[in-house]
């Protein structure tokens, strides 16, 4: 978050925002450099230290900022890599149907992903410019997971323990560019890499453990355009768990702390699923608000 022009680590305690940096100074704790990225790179020890400090800040009272004085930023602004998966069956079925195809049987065998751009991460409140040559502008309602550890050839149950936290993710898409690229069986590339937005809260898995259901969590996922609900889904409908996804990413490779994993679009979580030749694509000036129960809201305006 940004306070008086300075970027600091913040945490919410009982509805109030705590300045973790100032709390660390007060307690004479170095806290591994005091950026959220460095906290993640030193997870879980650094997160345990942070919890101790938050209890101190809650008791002291003077390390809490009124929300009006704080500008919130994305929890990780430069992830080491960004792998975006294809984990919701309903979305896959709807997208394939548009091309006159059934779901490829391999999809049920392999957790599929592509690499997107880790250098174009924006936060809630930012304006999103789409490519000049595109006219079919879309959002994608997804969950993001930030890794707090690494490894190779992981089992799903071990891979899941690496998750430092979850956030709301919008994988913005220029559908006409994406369609042109993928006709040659490569991509997506320029149809995706111009922007990705992350919500401001990184929610640790223990905070939502009581909502676990199936391979996900019983948490509602909604998208609004100019205040009107246009997508409504649930994380519990996911086919591939985040443990499955991270394990797949680590196969014959190494994943590291600070990497970002996207779930792919929840069923009916984008405008593409309405078809390709419609007039409901995003337009300049539209406000897009994605919300995941327990993870907060992510709001951006189309520039």
By C-alpha distance, which of 213, 137, 203, 211 is closest to 168?
203
Q: Is the pTM of this model over 0.75?
A: yes
What was the pLDDT predicted at 40?
76
By C-alpha distance, which of 271, 186, 193, 189 is closest to 228?
271
Q: What is the mean pLDDT of each run of 10 residues along the chain (303 residues)?
A: 74 76 74 65 74 75 65 89 98 94 96 97 97 97 96 98 97 97 90 97 95 98 98 98 98 97 98 95 98 98 96
Question: What domains does the chain contain, in order, with CATH numbers?
Answer: 2-71 (no CATH), 82-302 (3.90.850.10)
What was the pLDDT predicted at 30?
64
Instruction: Report the DSSP beta bridge partners of residue 216.
Output: 213
What was the pLDDT predicted at 185?
86
User: Which of helix, strand or coil describes residue 261?
Assistant: strand
Q: In whole angstroms, what is the distance from residue 127 CA to residue 18 CA? A: 27
Q: In whole angstroms, what is the distance from residue 78 CA to residue 58 CA? A: 30
Phi, psi of 133 (to 5 degrees): -90, 5
What was the pLDDT predicted at 61?
66
């Amino acid at each position: 978050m940004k306070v008086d022009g300075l970027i600091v680590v913040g945490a919410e305690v009982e509805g109030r925002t705590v300045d973790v940096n100032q709390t660390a100074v007060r307690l004479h704790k170095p806290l591994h450099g005091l950026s959220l990225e460095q906290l993640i790179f030193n997870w879980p020890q650094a997160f345990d230290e942070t919890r101790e400090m938050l209890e101190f800040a809650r008791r002291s009272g003077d390390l809490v900022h009124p929300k009006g004085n704080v500008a919130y930023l994305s929890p990780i602004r430069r992830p080491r890599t960004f792998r975006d998966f294809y984990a919701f069956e309903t979305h896959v079925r709807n997208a394939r149907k548009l091309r006159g195809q059934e779901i490829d049987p391999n999809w049920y065998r392999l957790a599929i992903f592509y690499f997107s751009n880790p250098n174009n991460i924006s936060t809630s409140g930012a304006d999103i410019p789409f490519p000049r040559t595109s006219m079919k502008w879309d959002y994608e309602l997804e969950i993001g997971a930030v890794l707090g550890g690494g490894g190779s050839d992981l089992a799903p149950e071990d891979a899941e323990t690496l998750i430092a936290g979850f956030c709301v993710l919008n994988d913005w898409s220029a559908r006409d560019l994406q369609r042109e690229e993928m006709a040659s069986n490569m991509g997506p590339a320029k149809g995706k890499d111009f922007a990705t937005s992350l919500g401001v809260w990184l929610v640790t898995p223990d905070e939502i453990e009581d909502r676990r259901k199936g391979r996900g969590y019983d948490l509602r996922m909604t998208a609004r355009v100019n205040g009107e609900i246009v997508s409504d889904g649930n994380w519990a409908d996911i086919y591939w768990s985040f443990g499955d996804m991270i394990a797949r990413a680590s196969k014959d490779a190494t994943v590291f702390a600070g990497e970002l994993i996207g779930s792919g679009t929840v069923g009916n979580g984008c405008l593409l699923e309405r078809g390709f030749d419609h007039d409901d694509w995003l337009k300049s000036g539209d406000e897009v608000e994605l919300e995941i129960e327990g993870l907060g809201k992510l709001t951006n305006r189309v520039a």
